[in-house]
C-alpha cells in the first residue's frame, strides 16, 4: 500500500525500466529516482524512502514475489525456524545505499523518512503468505501456538531495529513504522502483538543512542491513543481516515505530533468535496502539531492535478 508513484507516469516509466517491483526496490539509482519524482513535481516537505515493508521477511530468508494485479506472495511459515538474522542486513544493503544517495540528492529543506513495517503487520503476511482482509491465519497461529508466533515476532523486532538503525546511519531523518493491520487485534492481543513489539523496537533504537523522531501508524487501532503513545513512546502518531482528529488530540495531549488523515478517495474525487475536507482538517489542526498527510496510501487512479491543488490549498493556509 502507500504505492507511492503509481499515479505518476514517470513512476510507471521507471518501474518498467526496472523490470519488476522488487527489482526497483533493490536498484539504488532507480529507487532514488522514484523517491525524488513526487518531490520534483510537488515540492513536498518530506520524502519517503522507496522500499517495502516485506523486504525484511525476504532478507530473513522467506521467498517473496509480487503477482501482477494481485499483490505480495510469500512462501508459508508457521514458526521462526527457517528465518535467519545472519546476512539479513547485508541483503538489505541496497536500501541503505538508496538512503545514502537520497540524503545527498534531496533538497536541504526536504526531510527524508525511512520506514519499516511493524512486526504484527509484517508477520500477518509471513504467516498467510499474502495479504488477507482479517489476518485470520496470523491470529489463528497467535492463539494456537503463541510461542511459535512469538518467535517470529522476536526475529522481526531484532531485524527491524538493525534495519532502522542502518537507515538512520545512512541519512534517514525521521522514521515511520507502519502497523497497517492494528485493527484486527483487541485487548490483550493488541497489547502483546502490536504494543509490545512496537515499544521494543523504539526502545531498542533509543538504547543505541538514536534520537531520530519516530512516527507510529497503528492504522484504525481501537485502543485509547493516549495510552498507546505512552506505551510505545513514539514521537508522532499517524492517523488513518477513520480517526477523529480532535478526539485523538484530546487523548494524546498537545505535545504529540499527529499526521494524516485526509481520505485518499476524496483526493481521487477532487473538486468541492476535496476543498471542503482540506479546509476542515486545516481548521481542526490550526495551531497544533500536525503534519498534513493522507490517512492511507495514495491510490493509483489519483489525478496528479488533485495533488497539486491539495498543495496549493494547504500552503495557502500557512
Ligand atoms: O509511499 C511509498 O510508496 C513509499 C514506499 C512504500 C511502499 N510500500 C511501496 C510499494 C511503503 C511505505 C510501503 C508500505 C507497505 N507495503 C505497507 C504498509 C503501509 C500501508 O500503507 O498500510 C504494506 C502493508 C505493504 C505491503 C504491500 N506492498 C502490498 C500489500 C502491496 C500490493 C498493493 C497493491 O495494491 O498491489 C505492495 C506493493 C507496493 N509497495 C507498491 C509500492 C509502490 C506497488 C508496486 C507496483 O505495482 O508498482
Instruction: Compute the distance from residue 195 Cα to the ligand 1 centre, in Å.
Output: 23
Instruction: Compute the distance from residue 286 Cα to the ligand 1 centre, in Å.
Output: 31
According to the model, what pLDDT value does residue 3 have?
58
Percent of the chain with pLDDT over 90: 96
Say whether pLDDT at 317 is over 90: no
The three three-digit cell numbers of residue 44, written as one number: 513536498
Answer yes or no: are the C-beta atoms of 50 and 56 closer than 8 Å.
Answer: no
Nearest CA, atom 20, ligand 1: 1
Which residue numbers are catalytic? 2, 6, 15, 52, 125
The single residue listed with the C-alpha cell 499527529 is: 258
Give the mutation target among 49, 52, 176 for probing the ligand 1 site: most ligand atoms within 8 A of CB. Answer: 52
The C-alpha atoms of residue 61 and residue 66 are separated, in whole angstroms, by: 16
pLDDT digits (tens, 9 = 90+) for 8-21: 999 999 999 999 99
Give the pLDDT band of residue 1 (cuts 50, 70, 90). very low
The C-alpha atoms of residue 265 and residue 302 are separated, in whole angstroms, by: 8
Answer yes or no: are the C-beta atoms of 79 and 148 closer than 8 Å.
Answer: yes
How much is the pTM? 0.96
The C-alpha atoms of residue 268 and residue 307 are separated, in whole angstroms, by: 9
Mean pLDDT, the chain, integer: 96
Choosing among 3.40.50.150, 3.40.50.12280, 3.40.350.10, 3.20.20.210, the CATH entry for 9-238 is 3.20.20.210
Domain assignments of the chain as residue spans, ordered by start: 9-238
Mean pLDDT score, 128-149? 98
Of the candidates 221, 201, 220, 212, the one whose C-alpha atom is nearest the C-alpha of residue 296 is: 220
Atom of ligand 1 nearest to the CA of 296: 21
According to the model, what pLDDT value does residue 296 have?
93
Nearest CA, atom 12, ligand 1: 2
Amino acid at each position: 500500500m502507500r504505492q507511492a508513484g503509481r499515479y505518476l507516469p514517470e513512476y510507471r516509466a521507471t518501474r518498467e525500466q526496472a523490470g519488476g517491483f522488487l527489482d526497483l526496490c533493490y536498484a539504488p539509482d532507480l529507487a532514488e529516482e522514484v523517491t525524488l519524482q513526487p518531490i520534483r513535481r510537488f515540492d513536498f516537505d518530506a520524502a519517503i524512502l522507496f522500499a517495502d515493508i516485506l523486504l525484511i521477511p525476504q532478507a530473513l530468508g522467506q521467498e517473496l514475489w509480487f503477482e501482477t494485479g494481485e499483490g505480495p506472495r510469500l512462501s508459508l511459515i508457521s514458526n521462526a525456524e527457517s528465518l535467519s538474522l545472519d546476512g539479513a542486513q547485508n541483503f538489505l544493503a541496497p536500501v541503505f545505499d538508496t538512503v545514502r544517495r537520497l540524503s545527498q540528492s534531496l533538497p536541504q529543506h526536504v526531510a527524508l523518512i525511512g520506514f519499516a513495517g511493524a512486526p504484527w503487520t509484517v508477520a500477518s503476511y509471513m504467516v498467510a503468505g499474502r495479504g488477507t482482509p482479517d489476518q485470520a491465519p496470523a491470529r489463528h497461529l497467535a492463539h494456537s501456538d503463541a510461542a511459535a508466533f512469538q518467535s517470529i515476532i522476536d526475529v522481526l523486532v531484532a531485524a527491524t531495529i538493525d534495519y532502522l538503525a542502518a537507515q538512520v546511519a545512512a541519512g534517514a531523518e525521521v522514521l515511520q513504522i507502519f502497523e497497517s493491520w492494528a485493527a484486527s487485534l483487541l485487548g490483550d492481543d493488541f497489547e502483546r502483538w502490536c504494543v509490545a513489539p512496537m515499544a521494543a523496537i523504539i526502545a531498542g533504537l533509543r538504547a543505541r543512542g538514536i534520537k531520530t523522531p519516530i512516527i507510529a501508524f497503528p492504522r484504525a487501532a481501537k485502543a485509547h491513543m493516549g495510552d498507546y503513545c505512552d506505551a510505545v513512546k513514539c514521537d508522532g502518531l499517524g492517523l488513518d481516515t477513520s480517526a477523529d482528529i480532535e478526539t485523538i488530540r484530546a487523548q494524546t495531549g498537545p505535545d504529540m505530533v499527529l499526521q494524516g488523515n485526509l481520505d485518499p478517495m476524496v483526493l481521487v474525487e477532487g473538486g468541492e468535496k476535496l476543498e471542503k475536507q482540506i479546509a476542515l482538517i486545516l481548521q481542526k489542526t490550526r495551531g497544533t502539531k500536525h503534519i498534513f498527510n493522507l490517512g492511507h496510501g495514495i491510490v493509483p487512479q489519483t489525478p496528479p492535478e488533485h495533488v497539486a491543488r491539495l498543495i496549493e490549498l494547504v500552503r495557502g493556509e500557512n
